[in-house]
């Protein structure tokens, strides 16, 4: 399991926990909703966090969205 403090969106300094909290608090259901939101911007600069992950490790925003949908991240 990925640790909640693992940084996903390096350009916006957002971790798995930060992204998951934003998704949960705003009831985002799609990747488009997550990427287009203005509350906690992410994936809007270098965009590697949307595709292969900043470190080419596959850790990305779509993965966090899936984890939230499957209740793999504790709710705040």
pLDDT digits (tens, 9 = 90+) for 13-23: 999 999 999 99
- The answer as to whether 25 is a domain residue is yes
pLDDT for 76 equals: 66
- The answer as to whether 57 is a domain residue is yes
Q: In the chain, how many domains are there?
A: 1
Is the backbone of residue 50 left (phi > 0), alpha (psi -120 to 50) or beta?
alpha
Domain that holds residue 21: 7-69
Beta-carbon contacts of 7 under 8 Å, excluding residues fewer than 6 positions away, are: 13, 14, 15, 54
pLDDT surpasses 80 at 32: yes
- The answer as to whether 56 is a domain residue is yes
User: What is the mean predicted confidence (pLDDT) over 22-51?
Assistant: 95
- The answer as to whether 76 is a domain residue is no
- The answer as to whether 11 is a domain residue is yes
- The answer as to whether 75 is a domain residue is no
- The answer as to whether 1 is a domain residue is no
Report the mean per-residue pLDDT for the chain: 94
């Amino acid at each position: 399991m990925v640790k909640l403090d693992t940084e996903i969106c390096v350009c916006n300094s957002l971790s798995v926990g930060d992204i998951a909290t934003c998704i949960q608090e705003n009831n985002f259901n799609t990747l488009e909703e997550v990427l287009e939101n203005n509350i906690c911007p992410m994936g809007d600069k270098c965009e590697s966090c949307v595709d292969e992950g900043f470190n080419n490790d596959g850790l990305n925003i779509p993965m966090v969205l899936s984890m939230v949908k499957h209740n793999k991240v504790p709710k705040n």
